[in-house]
């Protein structure tokens, strides 16, 4: 039996053990998966001991994703771009690989569970913290027509745009901010929450506002015709952002599918088999209600 765990602080309410045990049952993989509370300054020591003592892989959640990034011997491209690691995997040579499956989980949920298109669409990403950064590379990989990043602190949105201006489908097209200065066609752009360059097809809330029951002060005009709105946060009730977007006429979804999706990507990295997300997501959804 191979040993896995999810590490965080707090960790009591993590759904990851349920998700991974369901994946294991579904695929016939023989694994043990626990949750582990670790002191705020204790990640590296815990991880070192875990992998020395035959642990095969860790999921890493708040506040340890940067510690995990430093701990890894080697990073995948998407982990390097995210600057954060949510999955550690022991490799055959004994070294530990760091990956970030959050963005892939988001994109998989949008495309394969919700059946919302991304290719050729106008996408608004709200927030410019760790969650937004992790979504950038997988999102750009789907070749949206444009991605605009709106953040309460506009400077952080501009930083993110500058960092990703050379990536993916927006390669070489440059970046602009909503004040109008630009150095290309502006397919990747940044602004504050009050600014917007038109209605969007897909709005993704990657800010942590929903965690505090708050709503980023966005103008209703961002919700274009047929708009879809996604909140990375999930819960038994719709978030304030989801209620607001629904009132503006958007189709809405929460981040439970992203949670199961990132777990599936981690499981696939560890076990070499991709589990089915839909039945596990449906089961969790009924348990959450």
Binding site for ligand ATR (CB under 6 A): 127-132, 151-153, 156, 207-209, 214, 216
Q: Which of 100, 113 has the CB closer to ligand ATR?
A: 100
Check the annotation: does 121 bind a ligand: no
Q: Which of 152, 246 has the CB closer to ligand ATR?
A: 152
Check the annotation: does 102 bind a ligand: yes
Check the annotation: does 127 bind a ligand: yes
Check the annotation: does 152 bind a ligand: yes
Q: Is 4 left (phi over 0), alpha (psi -120 to 50) or beta?
A: beta
Does the active-site annotation cover 35? no
| Catalytic annotation, pick one of 35, 40, 65, 228 | 65
Q: How far apart are CA 263 and CA 210, in angstroms?
A: 22
Q: Which of 160, 280 has the CB closer to ligand ATR?
A: 160
CB 164, min distance to ligand ATR, A = 15
- DSSP string across 127-196: --SHHHHHHHHHHHHT--SEEEEE-SSHHHHHHHHHHHTTSGGGTTS-EEETTS-BSSS-SEEEE-TT--
In this structure, are strands 74-75 and 146-150 parallel, antiparallel, or unpaired? unpaired
Residue 172, class by beta-carbon neighbours within 10 Å (0-12 exposed, 13-18 middle, 19+ buried)?
exposed
Check the annotation: does 54 bind a ligand: no
Contact between 47 and 68 (Cβ < 8 Å): yes
The three-class DSSP label of residue 254 is coil
CB 129, min distance to ligand ATR, A = 2
CB 130, min distance to ligand ATR, A = 3
Binding-site residue ranges: 14-16, 61, 77, 86, 102, 127-131, 151-156, 232, 234, 255, 262
Where is the binding site for NADP(+), in residues? 77, 127-131, 151-156, 232, 255
Residues with catalytic function: 65
């Amino acid at each position: 039996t191979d040993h896995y765990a999810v590490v965080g602080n707090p960790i009591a309410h993590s759904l990851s053990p349920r998700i991974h045990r369901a994946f294991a049952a579904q695929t016939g993989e023989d694994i043990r998966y626990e949750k582990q509370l670790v002191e705020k300054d204790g990640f590296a020591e815990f991880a070192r001991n875990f992998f020395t003592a035959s642990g095969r892989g860790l999921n890493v959640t708040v506040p340890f994703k940067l510690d995990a990034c430093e701990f890894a011997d080697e990073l995948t491209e998407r982990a390097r771009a995210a600057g954060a690691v949510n999955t550690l995997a022991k490799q055959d040579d004994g070294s530990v690989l760091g990956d970030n499956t959050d963005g892939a989980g988001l994109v998989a949920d949008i495309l394969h569970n919700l059946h919302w298109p991304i290719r050729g669409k106008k996408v608004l990403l709200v927030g410019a913290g760790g969650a937004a950064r992790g979504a950038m590379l997988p999102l750009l990989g789907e070749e949206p027509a444009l991605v605009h990043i709106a953040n309460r602190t506009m400077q952080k949105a501009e930083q993110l745009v500058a960092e990703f201006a050379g990536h993916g489908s927006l390669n070489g097209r440059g970046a602009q901010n909503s004040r109008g200065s630009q150095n290309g066609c502006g397919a990747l752009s940044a602004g504050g929450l009050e600014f917007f360059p038109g209605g969007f097809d897909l709005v993704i809330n990657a800010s942590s506002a929903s965690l505090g029951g708050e709503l980023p002060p966005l103008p209703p005009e961002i919700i274009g015709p047929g708009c879809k709105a996604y909140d990375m946060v999930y819960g038994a009730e719709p978030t304030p952002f989801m209620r607001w977007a629904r009132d503006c006429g958007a189709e809405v979804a929460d981040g439970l599918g992203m949670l199961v999706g990132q777990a599936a990507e981690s499981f696939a990295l560890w076990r070499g088999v991709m589990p089915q997300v839909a039945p596990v997501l449906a089961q969790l959804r009924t348990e959450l209600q």
